[in-house]
Amino acid sequence: MALDIGKIRRDFPILGRSVHGKPLVYFDNAATTQKPASVIAALKDFYERTNANIHRGIHTLSEEATARVEQTREKAARFIHAPKAHTVVFTRNATEAINLVAYGWGRKFLRAGDEILLTEMEHHSNLVPWQMLAQEKGARLRFVPMMPEGTLNLETVRRTLTPKTKLFSFIAVSNALGTVNPVKELVRTAHDQGALALVDASQWVPHYRTDVLDWNCDFLAFSGHKMLGPTGIGVLYGREELLEAMDPFLGGGDMIREVWLERSTYGELPNKFEAGTPAIAEIVALSPAIDYLETLGFEALAQHERELTGRALEIFRAEGIRTYGLSGVEQRAGVVSFNVGDIHPHDVGQVFDLEGIAIRAGHHCCQPLMRKLQVPGTARASFYLYNTLEEVESLKRTLRRVKDFFK
């Protein structure tokens, strides 16, 4: 069933505003998505009716706030098909979730000479933490090379894994190329070699149904703000036995069992990874974001995004614009990176902004990938559930304006 885009757009207040006197066209969804009224209302309602700290008070507001946080945890666990709610840890974002694994698992279990396998298309969030860990532990980073069309080859992955590989951490969907990686097969390949598998699902979870049991992944990280939720809230899923064995990431309030002056013991899952006051309102407001996506349906969403992306690729080809990644939409998410001749992507982005169109321009936190592509950066249009074919058509007019402006 096709999406009712008109109805959907009425749920997003920001889409009614203008930029430079023109209707806003928001094509920067890979960076963050806009928020429906239900999410905005949940934030407002929490502060107006339930604001209190959690897990520590016996008064009504604290008990209500605690209940709402734990209800969201249970909903998030069902959303990704996690077996138990306490295997879902709330973090500030996917970056913090990955750092938590690097610190809590890597510092404890990695030894000098061990290997961590990544890919050439990783976001800095799934690169820098492992660089820091490898330097500290004397471990080695290895990288699966990217194929010319922007994909990963499973046989190359198998050849790059070695008996020394302890972890294969990879992105499910490239934020720069839109490549949709074969997650289940990549996880299986890692396990066949005896390595753990961490999936950076920041660009997957907002667009496709997620099933950590079917994937059999060991860790999974994603951010709420890329899936209609608030900023400042992320999720780490981990297999229970791995989380139990890991050390805490941060020390302080609410992650402890007992504290003496000389030592402390730590709380049960997930508390031992959630030190201090969390982003309570943001956790609560993640709940209606999950509801919105589940009500909408991922099959209809994927169909809509393929239609938008396919038309965008047609426009870029017709205008003689270079795009990066796969030429079709079958293994590609709603992300198109492009360059207009030798014009710097920042200049392209500014012209788009003058037309009221928000795109991203730069290296997209993927500097090694940009070097692989032999470009300083790209412009990037990324689509989501509230975008329309009419908005995509505006790419044609704006690309021509860019060319005329810098002629």
**Cβ contact 197:54 at 8 Å:** no
Q: At what angle do helices 60-79 and 280-296 cross, to 10 degrees?
A: 40
**Cβ contact 222:192 at 8 Å:** no
Active site residue 365: yes
In sequence order, what DSSP letters do the residues of 293-354 get, joined into one string? HHHH-HHHHHHHHHHHHHHHHHHHHHTT-EEES-SSSTTB-SEEEEE-TT--HHHHHHHHHH
Instruction: Give strand pairing partners of 315.
Output: none
**Cβ contact 126:100 at 8 Å:** no
**Cβ contact 270:87 at 8 Å:** yes
**Cβ contact 110:131 at 8 Å:** no
Q: Which of 302, 365, 367, 376 is the catalytic position?
A: 365
DSSP β-ladder status, 335-339 and 322-324: antiparallel
**Cβ contact 139:133 at 8 Å:** yes
Q: Which two tokens stand for residue 274?
A: 């959630």
Instruction: Give strand pairing partners of 26.
Output: 358
Helical (H) or strand (E) element with 378: strand 378-382
Which positions are annotated as active-site residues? 365
